[in-house]
Structure 1
């Protein structure tokens, strides 16, 4: 029941508290929420319980700016699912398993209760904050008991919140009473009262009645006044009836209890249940509103409220609760009416957390309000009555008046914290300490150490109804708590934290039990923070407990709601809870939800790391594109995230390379011109892409020539082409891959890299650079382009020219050696027949025509190839694959993180800036470019010499020595002594050829013949 609730049927705090000074009066706690079911027992609907994740997300987004309405919607949503699960309990248990099904249902019921408590507490807290300036002062005269109680509730926040907790605890049981009322209450009426005893009095002899000590008269207290008993069946029925009455009071449904008393003809008992009501008579006050009512014709008798002899009723109820001769359940009723805690605890033998806390809170509220009335009721004709709570008239003597013990007033000095502490003392265990101890044992990995688990029992209501969602948990020794115990402990700790405002401790408790709710791989991520190394496990198939997933869902939304209500919450525990939920969403592949919960993380760096880890595990191209759209919708920084995805994938590529190198025997180093064997087998499949997706990305003809690692490297470029502003970054990654594949002699893979880039990307970026230069020359600020873009474009152009030259050389070589027309097999004059000679001559003419055509094509392709090869060797200053210095106006102090080429280096704190990590580091890139310049240009020189020699252009071949020795290009620096000797040997052979042909080693003699002669 709602203790000290006024006869207006509304608690003072519910009637007077408002959210804003102009807001309407707040509804009672039991009217705050809509409990209309959305499924009935006859609905043949297959409920998909996983849909609650999407429903919770929708309610969160719809009410993101109103946390109270958000909690209300969450409560309504849980109510709908609870009702649906109860209606389909058999089918649900068949799918989830009997034990798991009950636990999931209980989890929904518990979180539903938490949302109700949170809403009720914060509705009052927000209303109190907005009405602090409108506090009513207590006048020294003309106040009734009711008015004083109202003012006490207005001024005492702790008293008011304790009453809210009482109402909340009672409401949880009231729902169960309403479910079974029709089944039980039909048995409690006047026609069935003591019917067996009446029958015995009518049919059994007086001697037998005396021998069995059966009552002989029928009046209410005949059992207590005579010491005789009822018939055994009537005694059992009476005990059940009184037990049910107490449970109605425990559920705060005093009207139902009084109605049952009237049905049995026990009007005296119904009247006794009204004895606690505070008295109010307008005759003794100067309330302007009540005076106005009197002037409007309302009689004083109609306006009198409460019990004028309330203190006498309290005294009688107190000592009846102490009377061992009275039925235990009736004693519990009197204990609840008078606030007798010791008697109430004796009646609550279940020792359930809900019941024990309710008893302590009721005793505290009853005692504090009575003490307030006792100290403030000092006016009018009420001062010389017993209603002064133990202060009788002075002429009566000190022994007159009430005989209540001092403990009746000691409860009022308790704080709400003491109520919770004493509750835990009675239970023998603290949920918060228990959860921390379990968490510590789990983190330390001491699975062999067992501890005594506390005993938890069902509530008095569940015990009476003979039902419980989980079995009674006895004290036992185990290394891990059972799921029902863990669930109840978490629920108790959450309610305590909300009621006492211990949000830091609550979040710390949530954070501590997170490792118990997630698989081992996710535990490791949460303990060491997510990195490139450990994020790959999120893409694996992880086994998740449905119960734990729902607990994490509730925890995540609770901390989100609390963050709106309490802005000063610590970020660390808040982040840890959200990370666990995000990891669960990723593991369950709830793609649309990940982005929005990731956006709630406090740090942009964490948002980037988690969403990049999520994206890097997606296999389908359509999923990647859709999830990028979700990220934009959630407000995430997609540029940073896509960069992080590429960095993550590059890290995994490096790990796979190391594994392959460890599996392969060491091989001697070889020159780039020599093809290197590649591993075709992998120790395990790549985490990001399947074979089907790779073939779709790079084409089957290319995929057949690449290893899975090569294919995934190429596919990583796609992450940087969704956003047009990241074209330069895509170019950086492409350059890195091109350098890698060229060094590995995988030129077909390098070509596939170029095919993955958007069309005309190089020309577009060149135009942007030219536009910036034009603006700068015109005195303008210039386009805001990154410093590294100019050298990235230059590098890409260099690599592209090399690949084009290589392809041209391969085409020329094939055309030269494989496409030359074959001469006719029939010789001229070999036959004397005219027809044969004419056919032979025709064949010869066709051959010569084809040979001329072929020679012409060879000359054209040779000239084009020579131009391409020489273009590489004579590339504009400072040379092929060499960066230029970037022009910048940046101050010298700001140049520490910038290479002279404009490439951004790592941040001093270890965070990768800009394009750092998309390609190699600045030092690695320089080294790769230097090695490739040396190897590739040296290769191009030998290719050029081979072209000259193969086409008989020996004089041009000799002139290659001048090109190599030219200081402007510095090609001679690229050759070792041995390589120079090889080059000079080839040039020497051409000089010998020239010497034999025209008597001059350089080919300058006047008698020089045509090379084709």
Structure 2
């Protein structure tokens, strides 16, 4: 029997290391048979193993084994307990189904809303999609990208004030799905691969976020219900409650009823209860992971079978000599009483059993712990776990035909005192000590087996609730005997929740102190304390002090801020705004185009314009821009102000001040920045109501191009505006006000638009003339050589005749082009109502730089146009008109001479002098008049 047991134990050790033992034929345990049924798993996962394994066989590594099945690890949350606000069955005691009011029995809808999907079994085949995710550079981030859109959808679907709890449930549900996917990925991943280390990090973040939303749901549900109850209560109801309480004082209440009443009236204790419920629900996942794997040593109804075998062998005279003395009795207290040992295999079984029992209690599953004890043949131990229950006898107050069952332990104080002393002795296994320490409120004896922040927090809050409940029971309970006094150290744990976190942060365990500084643990701490303003301030500091935050953490922070707004929680709006801005910036960088407008809508109006305009600056393509504007309109953003800001931001990039008095080489080629400024005008032409603004912004862009003589770029901007823009501006204004007179800003914009058109037409016409005059004139054919043949002479005469015809056509075109150019240049020089680029009205809201730019344009281009016009007229031998140009420049009506500097004026006078000399050669006076 012992040999067989050792063989099975060897198989167990292999199993705990993640490998299946090799069973012998006909002696294979049921558990091993179940494992052998999954042998086809290797075939279904072969493709995936090849995808994540090194290419060279020599580099192939063994599959990552699962963690020790019974090793005490950090408990991760699985689902929120469906405990009601009066439930102490999961906190004060880790079992369910007691006579204490249990929220899980009164809130089935809540439970269904929070129920997480079952974790995918390791034997389930991975789909092609999962394989593709594994091949991604960062599988974790690739698999969880959809969370941004999922959370946005949750906000949209649960926007009503009464849907705040549904919103939290939706958040938690989205995260549960993602956590399931990531767990499926990491189950087939290799830790040594860098990209899968990122996946593990992402999984840890999402898992902690999920548990945080569960905590928020549990606590805020109770808080909101409490506030609603207080708001609906009236003075009459309060009076009735006072009378009812007075009557109840005259009635002898059982311990169970005292506890129930305590949780009804004490909101802070109820919140502590919910925290314990949450922590226990977080631990159930680890418990579920090992539940099936511990059955192979719980199927034996005999306790300590190996020790029994040794004793029986000794009695028969065939015992095996052992170095350590074994017990000679098999009662539960024998090892401690006799100070002797069990067989090594039994001792190992006992340690594993106790560890698993503690895991059950840590997960709030006392019933499972008791079932496990009974299946192991330790029914006595299951009975010892019952002593914590508060006593209740329903037959004492009302006689019934059928007696109601009596629940709880009437000697609970004695049982508790014994458990406390037993835990304090230190003679027992650490996990056995912790089990009875938890049930008796002995915190000091529980902490040695708590190896994570979650475990320690559970131990503290579990003890806190236990002490407060015990205090109330001893104060209110009416008994015929004096309760057994508990040690003074027990009452030292009657502390506030803030003290719990202070002690954790000052823990002697470096790991616990480190975990206290983790982001989600800090968030959970403030949520438990109910100090949301402090939490917002902490998150604000993270955003300001840390250059990079995990993307999913930033998403959580932004949505938490929106939730706090939804429930009307008082927080610093400026700090909340900074957090939302950081998330909007993340969405922009992540190219989440369809989500940005919604989150931007939660910002103040001026920041809505700023951030959405910043986003639109990087949007390319006509259809994509229209979609983005439509999304902004659906979310209530000021589209007109945003598109205006977009154009202003783009056109103000690298804006340089041009000094017309300083000569410099100008590159007239259209750069990429210029192209962006040109295309920016498209933002303002989608909506006809913005046509006036489109004119103003287009004018500003064209001014900047004309200042640096990029006329082609200015023409492209001009062509961006529809031809009927001026007519549209007048129609919209008339429809709005009934007046045909535009406001000063719009009138000035229309006038500048016409000035720009006149200038661009003049420059294009002059360039056409220049090209025609200097590059298109026909070349005279060379004369025939002396002594050439008759054929050559005929050919020459034909070429000469063709030249004469081409020259005549060229001269005709030149005359017409000269006249057209002259008219267009004069349209600029002699522009109506005050001159070119001169506003007709003063606009107090005008841009500060605009008047200066208009003056600069006049100083730069009017002298240049005059010189170009003179050059054209002089080259066309229209000398009299050259002198007429001088008259126009000197005219006091137009005052064009004021725009000339000394050098330009001297150059113009020299050219006019040459024209006057040419007139003298034509027998005319210097001013172009015929001589008498």
The TM tier, using the shorter chain, reads: 0.7 to 0.9
How far, CA to CA, are the matches of 2:356 and 2:888 in structure 1? 108
Closer, same or farther: CA 517–839 of 1 in aligned 2, 3 Å: closer
Superposed CA deviations along residues 296-323 of structure 1, whole A, max 9, x for unmatched, are x6x2234x33333333332332333334
Match 2:182 to one of 85, 96, 101? 85
Tell me how far 1:71 sits from its aligned partner.
2.0
**CA 1:252–1:977 in structure 2 vs 1: closer, same or farther (change >3 Å)?**
closer
User: Residue deviations 1:608-658, cap 9 Å, x none?
Assistant: 33333333345666655544444334433333333333343344323xx69
Alpha-carbon distance, 1:596 to partner: 2.8
Question: What is the match of residue 504 of structure 1?
Answer: 533
2:170 to 62, 70, 73: 73
1:204, distance to aligned residue in structure 2 (A): 1.1
TM-score (norm 2): 0.78
Shift of 1:791: 0.7
Residue by residue over 1:573-599, the C-alpha shift from the partner in whole angstroms, topping out at 9 and shown as x without a partner, is 323333333333333333333333333
Distance in 1 of aligned mates of 2:642 and 2:316 = 94
- 1:127 corresponds to 2:225: yes
Match of 1:218 in 2: 330
TM-score of the two chains, using structure 1 as the length reference: 0.72
Instruction: Tell me how far apart the structure 1 counterparts of residues 370 and 456 of structure 2 sit (CA, whole Å).
Output: 24
Residue 106 (structure 2) pairs with residue 181 (structure 1) = no
**Which region of structure 1 is more displaced relative to structure 2, 117-126 or 45-54?**
45-54
The CA distance in 1 between the partners of 2:250 and 2:424, in whole Å, is 36
Q: Distance in 1 between matches of 2:472 and 2:515?
A: 40
1:714 to 656, 678, 694: 678
Change (3 A) 1:821 1:250: closer
In structure 1, distance between residues paired with 2:625 and 2:806:
54
Q: CA deviation at 1:671?
A: 6.2
Q: Deviations over 1:549-582 (max 9, x none)?
A: 2333333333333332353122233233333333
Query: Could you tell me which of 498, 505, 509 is aligned with 1:424?
Result: 505
CA distance, structure 1, for counterparts of residue 515 and residue 300 of structure 2: 46
For residues 418 and 285 of structure 1, do their structure 2 counterparts lie closer, same or farther at Cα, with a shift above 3 Å needed?
farther
Which one has more relative contact order, counting CA pairs under 8 Å at least 6 apart?
Answer: 2
- Residue 631 of structure 1 is matched in structure 2 by 632
Displacement of 1:10 after TM fit? 7.5
Matched-pair contact (CA < 8 Å) for 1:33–1:75? no
Partner of 1:653: helix, strand, or coil? Answer: coil
Q: Deviations over 1:759-791 (max 9, x none)?
A: 443443355567789x337xxxx7xx7641211
Q: Which residue of 1 aligns with 2:249?
A: 140
What is the aligned residue count?
Answer: 812
Contact 1:71/1:119 (CA < 8 Å) preserved in 2? yes
| Equivalent residue in structure 2 for 1:2, among 87, 90, 95 | 90
Q: Displacement of 1:240 after TM fit?
A: 2.5
Q: SS state of the match for residue 88, structure 1? A: helix
Distance 1:98 1:850 in 2: 78
2:392 is paired with a residue whose SS is coil
Deviations 1:50-81 (A, max 9, x none): 33333333333333443322222222222222
Give distance in 2, aligned partners of 1:180 and 1:15. 24
- Residue of structure 1 in register with 2:592 after alignment: 590
1:867-896 deviations in Å (ceiling 9; x for gaps):
2232222221211110111xxxxxxxxxxx
Aligned residue in 2 for 1:362: 462
Match of 1:43 among 102, 125, 136: 125
**Structure 1 segments unaligned to the other structure (5+ residues):** 17-23, 387-391, 393-400, 429-453, 458-474, 476-484, 520-544, 662-668, 680-701, 886-899, 905-920, 1008-1013
With over 3 angstroms needed to count, the CA separation of the structure-2 counterparts of 1:13 and 1:118, relative to structure 1, is farther
Mark the CA change 1:951 to 1:39 in structure 2 (over 3 Å): closer, same or farther: farther
Query: Which of 420, 427, 432 is the matching residue for 1:330?
Result: 432
The root-mean-square deviation of aligned C-alpha atoms, in Å, is 3.9
Per-residue displacement from partner, 1:508-550 (whole Å, max 9, x unpaired)? 222333467644xxxxxxxxxxxxxxxxxxxxxxxxx8xx223
Deviation (angstroms), 1:184: 1.1
Whether the 8 Å CA contact 1:262–1:270 is kept in 2: the answer is yes
Unaligned runs of 5+ in 2: 1-88, 134-142
Which of the residues 83, 103, 106 maps onto 1:14?
103
1:614 is matched with 615
Counterpart-to-counterpart distance in 2, 1:28 and 1:902:
61
Q: Which residue of 2 aligns with 1:433?
A: none
Quick one: which of 445, 456, 461 aligns to 2:511? 456
Counting only pairs closer than 5 Å after superposition, residues 558-573 of structure 1 correspond to structure 2 as 558-573=560-575
The within-5 A match list for 1:544-563 is 548-563=550-565
* Counterpart contact for 1:318–1:335, Cα < 8 Å: yes
Query: What residue is the counterpart of 2:452 in the other structure?
Result: 352
CA distance in 2 between partners of 1:324 and 1:670 (Å): 93
Q: Residue 434 of structure 2 contacts residue 449 of structure 2 at CA under 8 Å; is this kept in 1?
A: no
1:739 Cα deviation after fit: 2.7
1:489 aligns with 2:512: no
CA distance 1:225–1:884, change in 2 (3 Å): same
Distance 1:422 1:842 in 2: 111
- SS of structure 1 residue aligned to 2:528: helix
1:100 pairs with 2:210: no
